[in-house]
Amino acid sequence: MAPRKRQTFLEPGALVDLNDAELLRRFVTEFGKIIPARISGVTSHQQRQIKKGVRRARNMGLLA
């Protein structure tokens, strides 16, 4: 059985801009939960940046 291809939202070396709400919105479900790295296909470092950015955007009111 062949391994499944992940859906990639970012390139493996790309940096996450913590202030870009449109980029961060792609990593949040319609219920406001952060999509896990195993589904989004991002690296662990990128996932930590996404987590920090989403939490920061929620506090500032950019994300619901």
Q: What is the per-residue pLDDT across 2-59, written as a single tens digit (0 to 9) for each?
A: 666 666 678 777 888 888 899 999 999 999 999 999 999 899 999 999 999 999 999 9
pTM above 0.85, yes or no: no
Provide the residue ranges of all domains of the chain, joining segments of one domain with +.
21-60
Q: Is the pLDDT of residue 61 over 80?
A: yes
pLDDT at 47: 94
Residue whose structure tokens are 């896990």: 36
Q: How far apart are CA 32 and CA 28, in angstroms?
A: 6
